[in-house]
Amino acid sequence: MLGIWPSSLSLETWCPPTPPSFSFSNVEVLKWSTPLCFSFPGLGDPTCLPKLNALEYNAEGVSKLLLTTRPIQRLQVADIHHHDRRQLSIALQSSPGHLTHIIFKGFNGSKGIIKATPLLFVRLQHVGSIPWFSRQRDAIAFIDSHLSVLKLLPHLTSLDALAGPDGNQWTNAVLVHLNKLHHKLRKVLVHGPRCFVWKRQGEIWEKREVSRFTSWDIIRGACD
pLDDT of residue 100: 98
Nearest to 178 by CA among 202, 199, 150, 201: 150
Task: State how many domains the chain has.
Answer: 2
pLDDT of residue 4: 35
Nearest to 73 by CA among 50, 48, 52: 52
Nearest to 58 by CA among 190, 218, 216: 216
Q: Give the integer Cα–Cα distance in Å for 78 and 135.
A: 26
> Residue 201 domain-assigned?
yes
pLDDT tens digits, the chain, 224 residues: what are they?
233 334 555 544 444 444 455 557 788 998 875 555 455 556 777 778 889 999 999 877 888 889 999 999 999 998 777 778 888 889 999 999 999 999 998 887 788 889 888 999 999 999 999 998 888 889 899 999 889 888 899 999 999 999 887 656 788 889 999 998 888 999 999 999 889 999 998 888 999 999 999 999 999 999 99
pLDDT of residue 8: 53
pLDDT of residue 61: 82
Q: What is the DSSP string of 120-150?
A: GGTT--EEEEEPP-SSHHHHHHHHHHHGGGG
Domain membership of residue 29 as a residue range? 1-98
- 166 φ, ψ (degrees, to nearest 5): -120, -10
Coil/strand/helix, residue 24: coil
pLDDT of residue 16: 47
One domain, residues 127 and 221: yes
Give the bridge partners for 32, in sequence order: 11
> Residue 39 domain-assigned?
yes
One domain, residues 85 and 130: no
> Residue 108 domain-assigned?
no
Give the bridge partners for 8, in sequence order: 5, 29
One domain, residues 158 and 220: yes
- Judge whether 123 and 153 are in contact, CB under 8 Å: no
pTM of the model: 0.85
> Residue 110 domain-assigned?
no
One domain, residues 207 and 128: yes
